[in-house]
Structure 1
Amino acid sequence: RFRFENSNLRRAYIALQAWKRAIFSDPFNFTESWTGPDVCSYGGVFCAPSLGNGSVRVVAGIDLNHADIAGYLPEKLGLLEELALFHINTNRFCGLVPKSFRRLKLLFELDLSNNRFVGKFPSVVLSLPSLKYLDLRFNDFEGVVPAEVFDKDLDAIFLNDNRFRWGIPENLGNSPVSVLVLANNELGGCIPHSIGKMEKTLNQLILLNDNLTGCLPHEIGKLDQLTVFDVSFNAIQGPLPSEIGNMRSLEQLDVARNRLTGEIPAAICRLPRLLNFTYSYNFFTGTPPHCGGGVVSDGRENCIPGKIGQRSGGECSSPAAKPFDCSKSKCGGG
């Protein structure tokens, strides 16, 4: 019925029409223009010369961010084999991520965040050889975070605000990511000692509210490129490792609302770029006498003598306030 520039755009037409049929609410009419053979004129669809043949146009990108579309992703989307960018954040897409996505060998950025996807971690993403940016945050994924994701050559991983459980895989340190956000899951377990191997690349690590236990591993001191380290709202015990003083790039350090004890290491006060240090709602018993004038710190609700806004005497003599021996931790020591 229609004539197409090339077979790639014919396949794209089939895929996009299947997707349009899988959409049951499009309040801002993002897909209203998805008619006829000129798929490169469809709203949110971007064409570019094929990597294999520069004279052939293909669908290289889809961006339906913030469209509030409700629907699901049909298997036919696997026909978009030249796709490099797939961005559909802040919609109401539900169901599973199609297995056919494994055909998207050029996919570089995958952003499915802030939707209603369900099921286990979408293992199809592990078979995408070009993938660098993976964003699955704010969905209903559950179960285990597969170890394989940390063996992939990714630059950014956002898995926060799902229902992942069963701990952080021990091979975490194999990952070359610069940004890793696992916050607001039900992970439990400890921070793996292998984290020290991420020293050359890791820039931001956010593990807040993940049910983490055990002690902070001394290996975090190797992360001298790290600017943001947030492990707040967990159940981490033991002292703050003095090795944190080696994290020369650190700007934001948040260990609030854990079960940390002991003295705050003086080395933290010598961090040259530190701007914010939050250690409230722990059981610390001492801070260095003079800690960086330019640092905004919050040390409320600890057990530090002479400092205002601290816990009661009863709380500070409770079992939770007692020093914890990290060598007895089931994580194998601090």
Structure 2
Amino acid sequence: MQTLPRVLEIPDVFSNLKELRTLHLSNNSFIGSFPSSILSLTHLEYLGLTNNSLSGPLPSNQSMLQKLTELNLSYNSLNGTIPSWVFSLPLLSSVSLQHNRFRGLADEVIKTNPTLKELHLSNNHLSGSFPQSLVNLTNLETLGISSNNITIDEGMNITFLSLSSLFLSSCQLKDFPHFLRNVKTLQVLDISNNKICGQIPNWFSGMTWDSLQFLNLSHNSLTGHLPQFRYYNLQYLDLKFNFLQGSLPLSICNMRKLILLDLSHNYFSDSVPHCLGIMASLTVLNLRKNNFTGSLPPLCAQSTSLSTIVVNGNRFEGPVPVSLLKCDRLEVLDVGNNVINDTFPAWLGTLQELQVLILKSNKFHGPISTCQTKFCFPKLRIFDLSHNDFSGSLPAKVFGNFKAMIKLDGEDTGNIKYMESMSNLPFVRSYEDSVSLVIKGQDIELERISTITTTIDLSNNHFEGVIPKTLKDLSSLWLLNLSHNNLIGHIPMELGQLNTLEALDLSWNRLTGKIPQELTRMNFLAVFNLSQNHLIGPIPHGLQFNTFENDSYGGNLDLCGPPLSKQCGTSDSSHVPQPLESEEDEGETYFFSGFTWESIVIGYSFGLVVGTVMWSLMFKYRKPKWFVEFFDGLMPHKRRRPKKRAQRRRT
């Protein structure tokens, strides 16, 4: 194998290398056109120029590459038509031209090539009907035409007797390709991201593809019920983002080799078959945003292979199944937005691989209990318990277990990776986990979870007590939301050590004291909310604090200084509001906290006018006693209400 020095443009000197058998120049920065002298290398067997910046058309003159078996020109900017010699080389078995700008194939009819097994044309600018020239390549095993504007006529006679992998995603298809009726050897079928609508046809669901392992029908407009598939060797089934409804067919239970099942973003209903808990190979289960009801199935009851469980956005009820204790490979558990009624499942801390735990928007209640094991939640990076009925104090010991949120000395933060669940299929890339989080005030669904996404969201609960100082140890924390609770005491100045924090929300609590100057050390802080507390004194300045607006501090009547209009020194800043003792007192506090000087002036002016008029009428008709009795009847005597513990209103 000969190598050439890396240059910007490939020199056209290959005519002097007649004996060259392998030319591998991939993953460089070559520009310019395809060197035509390469076509004269009569002994060349492998040609690889992938992942460069080559442009222009391929030479149309006759090729001398009679011994070439593999051609890879993918990931360039080549354009024009694909010349016929590409498909007519006698020994050629694999052609990869994906991710270029080719607009069509040469007009010449391609002769039958019995050696061509793989053809990759995805991500080009091909348009119109399915290329008639490709119909003659009857021995193809892999055909990729994804991300083109190809149409397939129903009456087109296409016969691929040996086709095993077909990629037709993002091709503007409006119907299932009818030529699939003639294919008996299919292993991989991807027709996702098209415009296929209506029910899955009977002929399709009735196909006896015993070899089918991968089926992707996602991102279409499929409706109706899911048919009884007979693909018993299926390992990958992706139906997300359709309009499918009804119960899951029992044929799901016969797919015992399933590795991935993604039914998210549909309208499936009723309970989930318990057989999902005994599938030995199931690694990814995603049921997000459907209408499933009943209790969660006993997942991992007889299997420990699950790494991702997402059931967010359904109507599951009951407790978290204890069978999850056997999911020793579990990395993502998202049961948010259901009606699960349970206490905090501290026993999940024994799952040493768990990185994402989302329990938000359910009916969880009680305190956050601590684990009984030495290593508890050691890899947890996303911890979301928001919008539940948790109570008690914030457990400092639990936070101390979150070792994955601690930035270690020498740790490489520049190398960002994403969470993946391995599919174990050689022809499929890994499945990337996704999650929905409230980020900077907005509910955002992250299509990929990066290794630097470290969040704690305990908002909208009934937590009491002080903010633990141990939070300072979570040095890689990215988002911290403790809003809408009953937290008291001062803001720990130690939080200023969280120098990677981008969002901090402590609003709607009962925090007192001054805002620590140490918080100005947080250089990456983009969202900061301390509103609706009882904080006092001047607002610190410097770095990120100079960018925050009034709404970061609203509802704290004794805060002063920019960006607020209230100047420091105009009132007794040492006054600390008394704790709220009754619902009545709290309601009055919220009522008056909304008044501004404009509303006071308007009320005063209105009262002055009304009072003057009533005073004049009273003396004009000389019946002051009648007016006194009239207004006394409108003002019932105030009764004292029994004092009870204030309950904060959740918003």
What range is the shorter-chain TM-score in?
0.7 to 0.9
Residue 31, structure 1, aligned to residue 282, structure 2: no
Aligned to 2:548, which of 291, 296, 310? Answer: 296
1:181 maps to amino acid: D
Report what 1:189 is aligned to.
Answer: 392
Q: CA deviation at 1:136?
A: 0.3
Residue 110, structure 1, aligned to residue 361, structure 2: no
What is the CA–CA distance in structure 2 between the aligned matches of 1:186 and 1:145, rounded to whole Å? 10
Q: CA deviation at 1:80?
A: 1.9
Report what 1:217 is aligned to.
Answer: 468
Q: CA deviation at 1:135?
A: 0.4
1:200-239 matches, within 5 Å, as 200-201=404-405, 203-239=454-490
Q: Alpha carbons of 1:288 and 1:45: their partners in 2 closer, same or farther (altered >3 Å)?
A: closer
Q: CA deviation at 1:120?
A: 1.4
Aligned to 2:364, which of 154, 164, 167? Answer: 164
What is the CA–CA distance in structure 2 between the aligned matches of 1:163 and 1:83, rounded to whole Å? 28
Q: CA deviation at 1:196?
A: 2.9
Tell whether the 8 Å contact from 1:301 to 1:309 is kept in structure 2 after alignment.
Answer: no
- What's the CA shift string for 1:36-81, capped at 9, x where partnerless? 34563996379xxxxxxxxxx9311100001111121122223421
Q: CA deviation at 1:97?
A: 1.7
1:113-132 matches, within 5 Å, as 113-132=312-331
Q: Alpha carbons of 1:142 and 1:196: their partners in 2 closer, same or farther (altered >3 Å)?
A: same
What is the CA–CA distance in structure 1 between the aligned matches of 2:459 and 2:272, rounded to whole Å? 31
Residue 147, structure 1, aligned to residue 346, structure 2: yes
Q: CA deviation at 1:130?
A: 1.2
What is the CA–CA distance in structure 2 between the aligned matches of 1:275 and 1:250, rounded to whole Å? 8
- What's the CA shift string for 1:127-159, capped at 9, x where partnerless? 211111000000111121121112322010000
Residue 96, structure 1, aligned to residue 350, structure 2: no
What is the CA–CA distance in structure 2 between the aligned matches of 1:213 and 1:303, rounded to whole Å? 22
2:368 maps to amino acid: I
TM-score by length of 2: 0.41
1:251 maps to amino acid: E
Tell whether the 8 Å contact from 1:65 to 1:91 is kept in structure 2 after alignment.
Answer: yes
What is the CA–CA distance in structure 1 between the aligned matches of 2:500 and 2:236, rounded to whole Å? 45
- What's the CA shift string for 1:94-144, capped at 9, x where partnerless? 111223642231111001111111111222222211111000000111121
Tell whether the 8 Å contact from 2:239 to 2:264 is kept in structure 1 after alignment.
Answer: no
Report what 1:17 is aligned to.
Answer: none
Question: Structure 1 unaligned runs (5+)?
Answer: 10-26, 47-56, 322-334
Report what 2:272 is aligned to.
Answer: 73
Point out the more displaced range, 69-78 or 128-137.
69-78
Residue 174, structure 1, aligned to residue 366, structure 2: no
What is the CA–CA distance in structure 1 between the aligned matches of 2:455 and 2:268, rounded to whole Å? 31
Q: CA deviation at 1:170?
A: 2.4
2:340 counterpart SS class: strand
1:69 counterpart SS class: strand
Report what 1:329 is aligned to.
Answer: none
What is the CA–CA distance in structure 2 between the aligned matches of 1:152 and 1:113, rounded to whole Å? 20
Q: Alpha carbons of 1:193 and 1:42: their partners in 2 closer, same or farther (altered >3 Å)?
A: closer
What is the CA–CA distance in structure 2 between the aligned matches of 1:71 and 1:250, rounded to whole Å? 42
Residue 318, structure 1, aligned to residue 547, structure 2: no
What is the CA–CA distance in structure 1 between the aligned matches of 2:342 and 2:565, rounded to whole Å? 40
2:234 maps to amino acid: C
1:36 maps to amino acid: R
**Aligned-CA RMSD value:** 3.1
Q: CA deviation at 1:5?
A: 5.4
2:325 maps to amino acid: L
1:196 maps to amino acid: G
Q: Alpha carbons of 1:41 and 1:206: their partners in 2 closer, same or farther (altered >3 Å)?
A: closer
Report what 1:254 is aligned to.
Answer: 505
Point out the more displaced range, 142-151 or 63-72.
142-151
What is the CA–CA distance in structure 2 between the aligned matches of 1:107 and 1:277, rounded to whole Å? 38
What is the CA–CA distance in structure 2 between the aligned matches of 1:152 and 1:36, rounded to whole Å? 35
Residue 265, structure 1, aligned to residue 516, structure 2: yes
Tell whether the 8 Å contact from 2:274 to 2:297 is kept in structure 1 after alignment.
Answer: yes
Rg (Cα) greater in structure: 2
What is the CA–CA distance in structure 2 between the aligned matches of 1:276 and 1:199, rounded to whole Å? 25
What is the CA–CA distance in structure 2 between the aligned matches of 1:188 and 1:286, rounded to whole Å? 30
Report what 2:402 is aligned to.
Answer: 198
What is the CA–CA distance in structure 1 between the aligned matches of 2:210 and 2:305, rounded to whole Å? 21
Q: CA deviation at 1:309?
A: 7.7
Tell whether the 8 Å contact from 2:236 to 2:259 is kept in structure 1 after alignment.
Answer: no
